[in-house]
Amino acid sequence: MTLRERITAALKDAMKNKEADRLSTLRLINAAIKDRDIALRGEGGEGQVTEADVLAILGRMVKQRQESARAYEEGGRLELAEKEAAEIRVIEEFLPRQLSREEVEAAIGTAIAETGASSIRDMGRVMALLKERHTGQMDFGAAGPAVKNRLSGG
């Protein structure tokens, strides 16, 4: 079952079980995926997102909600922060398990070795390989500086 099919099945279950908050989040996920489909068609593509695209969309959605939750907490709006956290939990059901810090370091080492990267100029190739293999499993905002550090001899 593809990720898209799993999301659709979860949406139907949420409708049947009258889970309003869950349904709302699942509809947001579906809308984001359909928006990407439409954008791909506009770019001359076949109009269907890949599994990697869906994982990237879900990853962005989680990151947006984490930032919103942090802002709400800082502003003392705890009920809104909790709503964002609940949405994150629903979205994360469809993401693969996140890699531990040690696993991220090992993946970076493997990517550097496989690409033959030796300097900071090779960072793009290393990041591309990591994104190809680990989309949805690691925070690339944190992985980027780690790759840069390794390639600059740190």
* Spatial distance between the Cα atoms of 11 and 30, rounded to a whole number of angstroms: 9
pLDDT of residue 135: 76
**Structural domain range at position 73:** 3-92
pLDDT of residue 47: 66
Domain count for the chain? 2
Residue 138: exposed, middle, or buried by beta-carbon count in 10 A (0-12, 13-18, 19+)? buried
Say if residue 61 is in the same domain as residue 34: yes
pLDDT of residue 40: 83
CATH number at residue 124: 1.10.10.410
Say if residue 144 is in the same domain as residue 111: yes
The domain boundary, picked from 92, 117, 135, lies at: 92
Say if residue 69 is in the same domain as residue 110: no
DSSP 122: G
pLDDT of residue 45: 64
CATH number at residue 16: 1.10.1510.10
* Spatial distance between the Cα atoms of 62 and 54, rounded to a whole number of angstroms: 12
Say if residue 68 is in the same domain as residue 12: yes
Element counts in the chain: helices (H) and strands (E): 7, 0
Answer whether 151's CB lies under 8 Å from 126's CB: yes
The domain boundary, picked from 42, 69, 92, lies at: 92
pLDDT of residue 136: 73
* Spatial distance between the Cα atoms of 124 and 46, rounded to a whole number of angstroms: 27
Q: In tens digits, what is the pLDDT along the chain, a chain of 154 residues?
A: 888 999 999 999 999 999 999 999 999 999 999 999 888 887 776 667 888 888 889 988 998 999 999 999 999 999 999 999 999 999 989 988 888 889 989 999 999 899 888 888 888 999 999 988 887 788 888 888 889 988 887 6
> How many beta carbons lie within 10 A of that of residue 128, not counting itself?
12
Q: HSE (CB half, 13 Å, CA atoms) of 28?
A: 18
